[in-house]
Structure 1
Amino acid sequence: MVHHTMSTSTTSASRASSRISSMSSLSWSRFAKVAAIVGTLAGCGSVPLDEPVPHTPSPTAPTPAAVITLPPVPAPPMEAPVAGAPLLQGKSRWHPVAWSELPGFDDDALHEAWNAWLRSCERPLPAFASLCPQVRQLSIAGPAEQREWMRRHLQPYRVEPLQGPAEGLLTAYYEPLLEASREPSARHTVPLYRPPASLASRKPWYSRQEIDTLPEAKAQLRGREIAFLADPLDALVLQIQGSGRVRVTERDGSQRLVRLAYAGSNEHPYRSVGGWLLQQGAVRDASWPGIKAWVRDNPHRLQEMLWSNPRTVFFREEPLGDLDAAFGPRGAQGVALTPGRSIAVDKESIPYGTPVWLASNGPLLKLQRLVLAQDTGSAIVGALRADYFAGWGAEAGELAGRLKQPLRMWVLWPK
């Protein structure tokens, strides 16, 4: 899912936890049920950016004999220092470290992360493909067994940039939950479009302002409307996030919950409307709640603000079944995102499907947990940069609109 980060600043940007105790409860009871379903379905001298291996369906239910039972191994009182040269990976440098360096490793609820890991095993990197059968088997194991297996098979590496400070930035993104109408009305006037037929032949395509004002741009989008929203800010949020859940009122009056997934863009650069407001001296608070407050006070300048971001996004409609509804949209790895356990990364620094230990301590939340690198975004650039998938709905949106805090990361790579 190509998205833009929700946090706004003077820096240009482009594509759900749980607050973390409260948001980790972002319907974790539903995820526990899904875990039971998914669980049953389910050394390197260099670190190449491999292409994912095509998914081979696993047996519907492992037999008892397939379950890994590891003999108890007493942990040493102290880990010896880890020797070895750092590994260069794109824009990052990976330093091998001891497991004891990972803050909170012994306390994480690993079964939550296992859902995301099972998803990555649908399209694993070659380096992880041989481990995926064991990952599937361990989905019904206890946390102690899962931790011991990770220590045996994976090596932690501290991620550092090639240049600059060793402290990164964590933001968050989410799936908006919106109301829409299949037909335009006096209230629902803001269209969401499928990609136009001419999108590939004109690069960049028409800008946001040109789409709103030029007859030829409007003509090429006629008949491409998926649904209509009541609020242009909701449409902007949906385009920034790259995907959303939409409750559509059909022509016969019935309602249906669908997902609108990213299907392309006009390929103009993303410009933060919050950054534009800061440059204008219009706001001090460029968070999303601050932007909405400014719009309420300045409705006559709404169009000017929207046009400051020339980029627009097109969508495709996807059904939302019960199992789909418990996960997010598909990320750039091609697998469904898991709230609180999926992150977007710079793929030049961390390959898709890599398990990552994430640590961030800020005013909004404290995170020390296992996550999977499964997505990317044009604002997610650099070795120590992550966008945290917060889920869907108002609470996730509040976190995504405000989260901006320091970050440390460790990749967990096969030995």
Structure 2
Amino acid sequence: MIGGFGRALTLGLSLICGAAMAETKYTLLDFADLDGWAEDDHSAAFAAFKETCRDLDGPEWEKLCKVALETDDARGFFELFFKPVMIEDGEPMLFTGYFEPELAGSPTRTETYRYPLYRLPSALPRTGPWLTRREIEQGALSGQGLEIAWLSDPVDRFFLQVQGSGRVRLTNGDVIRVGYAGNNRHPYSSIGQELIRRGIYSEHQVSAAVIRNWVRNNPDEGRELLWTNDSYVFFRTVNEVPAEKGPLGAMNRSITAGRSIAIDPAFTPLGAPVWIERQGSENMHRLMIAQDTGSAIKGAQRADIFIGTGDEAGRTAGEIKDTGRMVVLMPIQTAFSLVPEVL
């Protein structure tokens, strides 16, 4: 996935769905240009990096991973073998947050628990869009034995699909972990943006909590609102992941609260270190690892910060909508190949 990354991107890539094509801009920086770099806990990011570095493609990454696994000098490792690269596509930086929900559920359908989580259907075609969210939630997959568990709230199910993973505490005492297995190949569309478009809320008012409350307080209109997003996510059980570790990210490895981010892999290699400078109600200048993706995460300056598990993490994640910048740490030779004129 990462092989040939640099040369391909110099031709320019597509921006957010529906936007025009724009050339990708690369700027080489020094570590002294990273605000707060010297004060960060590099060892925490180093531990997260080593979680997935074996899965990085390309000889440069393989060599770096081998060195990483044999050293304890986190800051020295990053400064010696990497070059900070600012990647821009003309769109402003946007940081958001995500989390791993923990929800109540049932192994069987009941009067209370009647909203299913489906596993990936065998009938899903290999290419092209399939059934829409509306069609699926109106019963298109009923009676096929695809149910993993049942939830009590359609809004919880929707946001679980947005997050891509979670824990379900069942009525029989069992706790299962579910993770992303695939989707119906329809593009994701934001229901928050739809509420803004309808004039129900202004942009600064919209948050996950606001959306949840509006849908719950307007059940009929809320159901129609959820159906404006045709994208539908299917799950799989991932109970092999220890409870003390984070959920699986896009690299099929556990992600780390406060050190893992979801990025657009069209611009940032999965597994790469990324320096973020988030500006908002709570500034965050920190080295992260790009270990996840998301259907709403599109663009060179776009990142979703993994906050953790449970309700408190969910409240924190839902409040993040900040600007700033992110800088990708590339292997030195790869970095210079992106800006050949500096050689």
TM-score (ref. length: structure 2): 0.85
Tell me, yes or no, if the aligned pair for 1:327 and 1:339 is still in contact at 8 Å: no
Which residue number in structure 2 is paired with residue 353 of structure 1? 271
CA distance in 1, matches of 2:77, 2:118: 47
- Residues 223/398 of structure 1: CA separation in 2 closer, same or farther (3 Å cut): same
- 1:148 pairs with one of 76, 98, 119: 76
Which residue number in structure 2 is paired with residue 50 of structure 1? 3
TM-superposed deviation, 1:197: 2.1
CA distance in 2, matches of 1:410, 1:211: 40
- Residues 150/266 of structure 1: CA separation in 2 closer, same or farther (3 Å cut): closer
Matched, 1:395 2:312: yes
CA RMSD of aligned residues (A): 2.3
- What CA deviation, in whole Å up to 9, does each residue of 1:218-268 have, x standing for no partner? 34x53111110011110001111111111123xxx3x22221111111112
CA distance in 2, matches of 1:204, 1:375: 23
Percent identity among equivalent residues? 40
Secondary structure at the counterpart of residue 150 of structure 2:
strand
CA distance in 1, matches of 2:12, 2:252: 21
- Residues 96/224 of structure 1: CA separation in 2 closer, same or farther (3 Å cut): same
- What CA deviation, in whole Å up to 9, does each residue of 1:111-154 have, x standing for no partner? 2112211112231232221122221233xx3xxx4223322222
Tell me, yes or no, if the aligned pair for 2:98 and 2:306 is still in contact at 8 Å: yes
TM-superposed deviation, 1:306: 2.1
Secondary structure at the counterpart of residue 121 of structure 1:
helix
- Residues 93/158 of structure 1: CA separation in 2 closer, same or farther (3 Å cut): same
CA distance in 1, matches of 2:27, 2:162: 34
Matched, 1:228 2:150: yes
Matched, 1:240 2:158: no
Residue segments in structure 2 that go unaligned for 5+ positions in a row: 14-23, 333-343
CA distance in 2, matches of 1:89, 1:202: 26
CA distance in 1, matches of 2:253, 2:130: 28
- Residues 182/98 of structure 1: CA separation in 2 closer, same or farther (3 Å cut): same
TM-superposed deviation, 1:320: 5.0
Tell me, yes or no, if the aligned pair for 1:195 and 1:224 is still in contact at 8 Å: yes
CA distance in 2, matches of 1:201, 1:334: 21
Tell me, yes or no, if the aligned pair for 2:215 and 2:223 is still in contact at 8 Å: no
- 2:207 pairs with one of 278, 287, 294: 287
Q: How does 1:52-201 map to 2 (within 5 A)?
A: 88=10, 91=13, 92-126=24-58, 127-138=60-71, 141=72, 145-161=73-89, 164=90, 167-200=92-125
Secondary structure at the counterpart of residue 137 of structure 1:
coil
Matched, 1:406 2:323: yes
- What CA deviation, in whole Å up to 9, does each residue of 1:356-404 have, x standing for no partner? 11111111x2111111112222222221111111111112211222211
Between 202-211 and 287-296, the greater mean CA deviation after superposition: 202-211
Tell me, yes or no, if the aligned pair for 2:86 and 2:327 is still in contact at 8 Å: yes
CA distance in 1, matches of 2:126, 2:297: 28
- 1:204 pairs with one of 129, 141, 148: 129
Which residue number in structure 1 is paired with residue 21 of structure 2? none
Residue segments in structure 1 that go unaligned for 5+ positions in a row: 1-47, 53-86
Which residue number in structure 2 is paired with residue 275 of structure 1? 193
Secondary structure at the counterpart of residue 228 of structure 1:
strand
> Letter of the aligned partner of 1:268 in structure 2?
H
Tell me, yes or no, if the aligned pair for 1:356 and 1:371 is still in contact at 8 Å: yes
* Higher Rg of the two aligned structures: 1
CA distance in 1, matches of 2:125, 2:110: 31
Tell me, yes or no, if the aligned pair for 1:180 and 1:247 is still in contact at 8 Å: yes
* Count of residue pairs brought into register by the alignment: 316
Matched, 1:332 2:250: yes
CA distance in 1, matches of 2:4, 2:227: 37
- What CA deviation, in whole Å up to 9, does each residue of 1:150-176 have, x standing for no partner? 222222223333xx36x4111111111
Tell me, yes or no, if the aligned pair for 1:123 and 1:334 is still in contact at 8 Å: no
> Letter of the aligned partner of 2:201 in structure 1?
V
TM-superposed deviation, 1:51: 8.4
TM-superposed deviation, 1:181: 0.4
Which residue number in structure 2 is paired with residue 258 of structure 1? 176
Between 119-128 and 185-194, the greater mean CA deviation after superposition: 119-128
CA distance in 1, matches of 2:184, 2:86: 37
CA distance in 2, matches of 1:108, 1:89: 34
- 2:225 pairs with one of 305, 312, 319: 305
CA distance in 1, matches of 2:210, 2:4: 41
- Residues 367/184 of structure 1: CA separation in 2 closer, same or farther (3 Å cut): same
4+ aligned runs moved over 3 Å, structure 1: 87-92
Between 232-241 and 291-300, the greater mean CA deviation after superposition: 291-300
TM-superposed deviation, 1:90: 5.3
TM-score (ref. length: structure 1): 0.71
